[in-house]
Structure 1
Amino acid sequence: MTDTIYALLAIAMVLLVVSVLVPLAERFRLPHTVLLAIAGMGMGFLGSWIIAAEFKLGALGDAFIGLDKLEVGTDVFLPLFLPPLLFTAGLTIDVRRLLDEVHAVLLLAVVAVLVCIACVAGVVHFATGIDLVVCLLLGTVVSTTDPAAVIGIFRDVGAPKRLSILAEGESLLNDAVAIAAFGLFIGIIASRSAGDPLGAVEGDPTAAIGVFLREFIGGLMLGFVMARGAMVILPRLGESDAAIASVTVSLTYLSFVLADRYFHVSGVVSVVMAALTVAAYGPTHLHPRQWTALRQVWVQLEFWANCLIFVLASMLAANVLLQITWLYVWGVVAVTVGAFSARALVVFGMLPVLEATKLVQPVDKRYKAILVWGGLRGAVTIVLAMVAAGDQRLPIDVREFIAISAVLFVLVTLFVNATTLGLVMHLLGLDKLSRLELALRDRVLALSRVNVARHLQQILRQHNARTEGIDVDPASAGDAEVESVPEDLALDLDERVKIGLVTLCTREKELYLELFEQQILSRRMVAVLAARADRLIDTVRDRGVKGYEEWLEQISRPDRGFRLALWLHRRFGFERMITERLADRFEILMVSQSVLGELAAFNISSVADLLGSDAEVSLAEVIGNRQTAVDSALRALSLQYPGYAESIEARQLERAAIRFESAEYARRLREGIISREVYNDLREKLAERRGAISQRPSLDLGLELAAMIGRVSLFAALDRETIVAVSKRLRALVALPSEKIIEVGGPPDAMYFVAAGEVTVLTPTVSVMLKEGDFFGEMGLLSSQPRSADVVANGYCHLLVLYKKDFNQLLASRPEVRAEIEAVAARRVADNQSKAAS
């Protein structure tokens, strides 16, 4: 029998075993990697015994022989297994939420890696006396983390979504930083072994930092460029999920190999950046079904890579354990102390600094303890250990020490930390329902029993059966059950309103996802809105109604992207970014208006029964306030851009019509009224209509400018030719809520016309509100005196700006306009004087 057959039998056996372990891990509530390590070590011991005893077990014996022959070279571990692990981690992360928690993620990823390397190196060097640079290399190997177990716990206990994002982002980025540092220290030790006593850069720390930054930043740039190139290709591959997946596999390995071998930058960082770029742009470039299929392919690839790494490494560890010495035992104890001390220092010592400076939201100390104790090590650490073990440039004792210490540390975290996470949860009280959850559980149970009894009575009456066996009165049993809640579990109004808000926010996110599945909402918009809902849920859990209102006020204000787009528009006249932002605001407001209407109905139909009528009234008020704000903002935008508003509304209606027609065709097919061929033809026509409206209408500020000019009373009487001439002198300006457009004492450089929205003129003696069609700032231009009042925008306001030079030219060419402006200015001066006198 050839070695190929042996290898195929071995791989088949490994895949079968690791798959069977999945339900076992769920049954015993253990991380899958714990059972993988046990299975790998078991197969290692069993295979050695079967081969040594020369047992004849047929295909099973040949599979163990294949495992013995299946020696993956350590030079293959890094390029073969690491890229899919990193790419999957980056592809499945929520990039928008990651950016929200960027300060905490960078602390846990970058700073924590450096602290871990230093602590592990210091403790191991002190405990064993081994060379400090070797200890630093060991620190880079063990500083990578596996967040799977911690994320699972956070999900089970209902922890805020941002904590899972912290764990995922930390693992992804610290892998990149640690592996880049790993390559640096391997190069130092290899150079010393080759005869350079100081190594390539060891003698010059500045050079070492320069090499690290060059490789890291170069990897980021290359990964981004290659991923953007891939995103140009992917949408052009049609409906082929296999072709799309193949391009991403090619991207993964090309970004690693090109970076590492040709551009001499960090291949790991390049892969991570490529994955994050695809995660950010993929949902908006691919059909939702294709995006889901792509992620499933990468989850499968990651499962195979992770399982093979653990099994093969655990088999090697089984042989190592038979030859272990006290040096390695003492070394792994030192590594454990150093690694977890570093993690505790970062989580409990440095993270509170970010909390105090408001850069991150506070994290419960119990969750911090889970973050520390759950700092497990996994496949990436094993890959780096195997790479170090097979690097012939390193002395044999260094290779053995790094590989054995790292693998043993992985086993310690799996067999000690992972298996006791449940116990730690119990000690911290995370496995127990809170008083709010207990009360909510009892209310749900009581109401569910009432509803079941009501439905049973209806069924029995329909069948003319007797209902005496059901001793629950559906008209009153619900109230009796709810009122019988024990006093220590009774909830006050504020607590019930908080529960209701969390429920409504969760329902809000579900509605966004439903709109996306119905293809009414784009992938990019659903990503924005679902992320907002997640943040809103976290905020309500932390601060209740006050947090809800504060967050809504925060998202109503322009974000940094909007301000950047506004600055580019004002400074250089770039319209694309500001029009995209305004179009996003249109779509978000329209979707929010629809969803809030459904939330109001959901509050009456579902939340009121659960939490009581008084809570329902309070929640209705909160939702009503938000609806009022959304309606007002949408009405203002629609007045400012009526043409665009009509286009967006027509697009939304067409999407809804297509959805209803699709459901109707499916029903006709199920009932046998139409054939499959007719159904497919109808679906193709719907696909053509859906494709025609797939792109959002563009908002052209230039086309809206003429309409804005027409709303200004001063220009209403002008003919079209004059309006065109005037439009060449005017410039559209978007003012943000509460923005000070004119300030007292400022230079008289322009006058402003209110095309849409409202502004308030504030003088020391009086305040005046100006609306659409009014103008201001003319008095300073006529008198050449500094500004005498502040002018503040009331909400988003669209203005037309006429600068001083154009103002003088316009008044010289249009005497009637000059006369009107001077008349208005004179009336204002007189009004101000009379009000000041009174």
Structure 2
Amino acid sequence: MDIVILTTIIAALFLVIGLAEPLATRLRLPYSVILAGLGIMIGVAASFFLRTELTDALNPVAEAILALPIRSNVFLYVFLPTLLFQVTLGMNLRRMLDDWVPILVLAVVAVVVATLSVGYALAWTGALPLAACLLVGAIVSTTDPSAVVSIFRSLSAPRRLTRIIEGESLLNDAAAIALFGLFMGFVMLGVPDPNPVDALARFPLLMAGGALTGWLAARAALWLMALFAAWERAQISISVALPYLAYIVAEQSIGASGVIAVVSAGLTLNLAAPGRLRPQAWANMREVWDLLAHWAGALIFILAALLIPRLLEKVRMEDIGLVAVVILAAAGARAVILFGLLPLLTALRLSPAVERPYRVAILWGGLRGAVTLALALAVTESFRVPDGIQRVVGILATGFTLFTLVVQGTTLRAMICRLGLDRLSPIDEALSRQVVAVALQTVREDLGRTTGNYELSHDIVRAEAKRFGDRLDQAVKHADARAEILERDRVTLGLIALAGHERDTILARVRERTISARMAEQVITDAERLIEASRTAGRSGYQRAARQSIAYGRVFRAAVVLNNRLGLSAPLAHLTAVRFEHLLSQRLILRDLGAFIDRRIRRIHGRRVAELLRDLLARRIEGVESALDGLRLQYPGYAEKLERRFIRRTALRLEEREYVTMREDGLIGAEVHTSLMADIARRRAATEARPRLDIAPQRTELIRQLPLFSDLDEAGLRRLSRALATRYVNPGDLLMRKDTQANSVFFIASGAVEVERAGETWRLGRGEMFGQMGVLMRKTRVAEARAIAPSTLLVLDEARFRRLLQRSAALREAVRQSAGKRGIDPEALFSGARQGA
């Protein structure tokens, strides 16, 4: 092909891409539908000009278009890794984890069910062998998110709905392509009736091999990027090479899923890169990938659509019936998952609820696109696939894709509007009216000062002020905040605004580099959870999300078990260091929120709401301080290291600002400024590394600080340190239940516990113990204990507690005092203890 013609065609395709987006906005149609339509028109026009006798002038261009090297490998090895990798880099993985059950169900279970449903439906109604039918099922089971997500975002649809769609589409590509590879192998080998169970048994190996390959490739890429920290373009170039190398190695060298390898590499980079790269380098890398994915997604749609006329040339009447079978089977399988399995999992408390309008939107938004066409093209290209199967597979996949794009794609916007997902909630609607009224009032005041400074004509000012005042009066009349909204709703609105400002403050601190990039995503995720929890459950949701942000999670508890039982301290040390930095970052942000309540929320929602929000904020600060104090007690000195690191980062930011000001004022030249900035960059890189936390000797130090063990010698402290088990608990956790066998004693290292016995309630704090009475009296417990703050407990079993009681006078005295408060004879306790020993 002539290079001039090829260059012209490529440039023309980019021109089409540039025109398609504004055209889609004007026609209110999905961007991918417009691209597919343009691609079909180009393909039809090229075929027309080659066959017509009207003119031969355009024949070279038409021949070049039809001769473009459009092969399935181009889609799978060039375009697909780009799209998958960009999606993983742009995902908020921590928010995805909130809906990981429905995402995995839709991405894996739904793909398998759709593959089997379509396959067996075609086998029963058509003449194709079962292997070919299952191959068609795998091809049409993957969804394309681009059109759906663009519509959702243009209509301000709920973010959770968009996250579920994105998460599903990311993972179902991998599942569908893995299944495609399995059944394609059966078809090429001539196995007419494969056993689906045997085929699916190989599925986990494909997934695991791809995941390991992607993880190793991403770790190697991160190591290289760290070496080239001063060369941002080199880091971006390495990131561009990463998905393609991971895909090729997984597919060609290991025989695993290349798609899974790309997804695994992207997820690894998403989680680890913010802590390894400079914030600006990470932001620029994501911008580059956004542009690459935009071009790749548009090109894959146009080029795949060029093939549609060719694939549909040999359509027969019976093929239309088979396309209808595919449509019904695929839609039915998806409906079973959405309206059968997901509600069942929710009823069993295995999955968060997915509202019915969301499920309807997900069902109708299951568009197919370029990946489906690319897989169909791979079948039609293979000389090892019989011609009859090639023709039918190509027609069924193409017909089904056209149906989803033309029918579902063009009506999806109307469906979303009909479901009410485009409308603001009553609370958001009320908030918008309030904000407009307050903003217009502020603008009117500022406008009066501005027009006075410019000495504008009095008549003009008065006319414009009247016009603006009329709009303000209308806004106030339309929405008197305090008259239209209940106080409960105004509290919810205030909490949403407060959490939103918290997120903005975090972003500002990240830009200033006061908060490290590796911590930014975690605290931003906390703020987003606060926003959504406030929307759905008001004050109680906000408080629940606030407690969750400082709670000990399952991963932390698992690390504790590994440390206590297997002696593996590295995971616990890492997670404890992360918790330290997380709590310090939260405290830094929360201290800045009080001024926002006084300055903005009080003005919009009134004094009572502002006072209530201040009280909630004070409780959050108290909870963070309590959790931080517990860590300080357990790991003395480490918090100070982190605080010194924070001070150094702040000093570097202020120093950088001074140099920028001097450069702008002309006090220093460009050469000096560049040298100073390079020096700051080197010193800032040194502050990025989190100080190392050594948890090995810390338990002995913690025990030494407790008055109960003050009279033990060093040997006794070391023995006790080995015997005590550390337990981290969250507020509300039940620690000791009534009517259970007493076999352990609890010592409070940090936090607070509430004990209830016979209608009496008392609270215990650091340095106190509970559970000893049941152990010494050899009776079932009559008290119940519950944590009321994030707490660290030291737990000692019954036998060791009895031996310790004999050696420690301070512990015996504490037991006597505790028994006296409860009206129990101490001597009876100690006699029982001596008998037990």
What's the TM-score bracket when you normalise by the shorter of the two chains?
Answer: 0.7 to 0.9
Contact persistence 2:700–2:721 (CA under 8 A): no
Contact persistence 2:156–2:422 (CA under 8 A): no
Partner of 1:520: 514
Contact persistence 1:439–1:489 (CA under 8 A): no
Partner of 1:273: 264
* Cα distance, 1:155–1:786 mapped onto 2, change above 3 Å: same
* Cα distance, 1:380–1:480 mapped onto 2, change above 3 Å: closer
Q: Give the alignment of 1:280-429 within 5 angstroms.
A: 280-429=271-420
Contact persistence 1:112–1:346 (CA under 8 A): yes
Partner of 1:119: 117
Q: Which amino acid aligns with 2:691?
A: P
Unaligned runs of 5+ residues in structure 2 are: 829-837
- Over residues 804-829 of structure 1, what are the superposed CA-to-partner deviations in whole Å (9 max), with x where a residue is unaligned? 898899899xxxx6444445545555
Residue 176 (str. 1) matches residue 174 (str. 2): yes
Q: State the shift of 1:385 in Å.
A: 0.8
Distance 2:817 2:480 in 1: 71
Partner of 1:690: 684
Q: Give the match's secondary structure for 1:362.
A: coil
Structure 2 residue aligned with 1:509, among 496, 503, 511? 503
Structure 1 residue aligned with 2:637, among 643, 668, 674? 643
Structure 2 residue aligned with 1:455, among 446, 471, 482? 446
Contact persistence 2:700–2:718 (CA under 8 A): yes
Distance 1:383 1:114 in 2: 19
Structure 1 residue aligned with 2:605, among 605, 611, 616? 611
Distance 1:448 1:765 in 2: 54
Partner of 1:542: 536
Contact persistence 1:104–1:360 (CA under 8 A): yes
Q: Which amino acid aligns with 2:625?
A: D
Number of positions where the alignment pairs a residue of Structure 1 with one of Structure 2? 819
Distance 1:10 1:675 in 2: 48
Distance 1:331 1:744 in 2: 66
Partner of 1:673: 667
Q: Which amino acid aligns with 2:305?
A: S
Q: Give the match's secondary structure for 1:740.
A: strand
Structure 1 residue aligned with 2:559, among 557, 565, 573? 565
Residue 45 (str. 1) matches residue 19 (str. 2): no
Distance 1:398 1:83 in 2: 28
* Cα distance, 1:786–1:311 mapped onto 2, change above 3 Å: same
Partner of 1:593: 587
Q: State the shift of 1:663 in Å.
A: 2.0
Contact persistence 2:130–2:192 (CA under 8 A): no
Q: Give the alignment of 1:155-170 within 5 angstroms.
A: 155-170=153-168
- Over residues 756-803 of structure 1, what are the superposed CA-to-partner deviations in whole Å (9 max), with x where a residue is unaligned? 44556777797775544556788899x796787867655344456778
Distance 2:740 2:353 in 1: 43
Q: Which amino acid aligns with 2:16?
A: V
* Cα distance, 1:665–1:53 mapped onto 2, change above 3 Å: same
Residue 28 (str. 1) matches residue 23 (str. 2): no
Moved more, 444-453 or 476-485: 476-485
Q: State the shift of 1:321 in Å.
A: 4.4
Q: State the shift of 1:36 in Å.
A: 1.6
* Cα distance, 1:833–1:370 mapped onto 2, change above 3 Å: closer
Structure 1 residue aligned with 2:84, among 83, 86, 91? 86
- Over residues 294-349 of structure 1, what are the superposed CA-to-partner deviations in whole Å (9 max), with x where a residue is unaligned? 33333333333333332222222234445533233333233222222322222222
Contact persistence 1:141–1:385 (CA under 8 A): yes
* Cα distance, 1:789–1:707 mapped onto 2, change above 3 Å: farther
Contact persistence 2:630–2:792 (CA under 8 A): no
Partner of 1:3: 2
* Cα distance, 1:84–1:771 mapped onto 2, change above 3 Å: closer
Q: State the shift of 1:639 in Å.
A: 4.5
Distance 1:342 1:351 in 2: 13
Residue 15 (str. 1) matches residue 6 (str. 2): no
- Over residues 91-113 of structure 1, what are the superposed CA-to-partner deviations in whole Å (9 max), with x where a residue is unaligned? 33222222221110111111211
Partner of 2:66: 68
- Over residues 574-599 of structure 1, what are the superposed CA-to-partner deviations in whole Å (9 max), with x where a residue is unaligned? 33333333333322222222322333
Partner of 1:141: 139
Contact persistence 1:450–1:477 (CA under 8 A): no
Distance 1:445 1:788 in 2: 60
* Cα distance, 1:686–1:406 mapped onto 2, change above 3 Å: same
State the identity %.
33
Contact persistence 2:368–2:404 (CA under 8 A): yes
Q: Which amino acid aligns with 2:151?
A: I
Distance 2:311 2:773 in 1: 88
Q: State the shift of 1:143 in Å.
A: 0.8
* Cα distance, 1:525–1:743 mapped onto 2, change above 3 Å: farther
Contact persistence 2:805–2:811 (CA under 8 A): no
Residue 219 (str. 1) matches residue 210 (str. 2): yes
* Cα distance, 1:476–1:381 mapped onto 2, change above 3 Å: closer
Q: Give the alignment of 1:92-131 within 5 angstroms.
A: 92-131=90-129
Q: State the shift of 1:387 in Å.
A: 0.4
Partner of 1:740: 735
* Cα distance, 1:427–1:127 mapped onto 2, change above 3 Å: farther
Q: Which amino acid aligns with 1:698?
A: R
Q: State the shift of 1:250 in Å.
A: 3.7
Q: Which amino acid aligns with 1:558?
A: Y
Distance 2:403 2:608 in 1: 53
Q: State the shift of 1:535 in Å.
A: 2.5
* Cα distance, 1:702–1:801 mapped onto 2, change above 3 Å: farther
Q: State the shift of 1:676 in Å.
A: 1.6
Q: State the shift of 1:165 in Å.
A: 1.8
Report the RMSD for the aligned CA atoms in angstroms: 3.7
Contact persistence 2:634–2:699 (CA under 8 A): no
Contact persistence 1:763–1:788 (CA under 8 A): no
* Cα distance, 1:355–1:290 mapped onto 2, change above 3 Å: same
Q: Which amino acid aligns with 1:112?
A: A
* Cα distance, 1:89–1:470 mapped onto 2, change above 3 Å: closer
Q: State the shift of 1:655 in Å.
A: 1.7
* Cα distance, 1:806–1:359 mapped onto 2, change above 3 Å: closer
Q: Give the match's secondary structure for 1:795.
A: coil
Distance 1:785 1:488 in 2: 61
Partner of 2:254: 263
Distance 1:487 1:647 in 2: 47
Contact persistence 2:129–2:192 (CA under 8 A): no
Residue 708 (str. 1) matches residue 699 (str. 2): no
Contact persistence 2:633–2:702 (CA under 8 A): no
Residue 656 (str. 1) matches residue 653 (str. 2): no
Moved more, 108-117 or 656-665: 656-665
Q: Which amino acid aligns with 1:740?
A: L
Moved more, 290-299 or 790-799: 790-799
Q: State the shift of 1:659 in Å.
A: 1.7
Distance 2:76 2:455 in 1: 72
Residue 209 (str. 1) matches residue 200 (str. 2): yes
Contact persistence 1:219–1:267 (CA under 8 A): yes
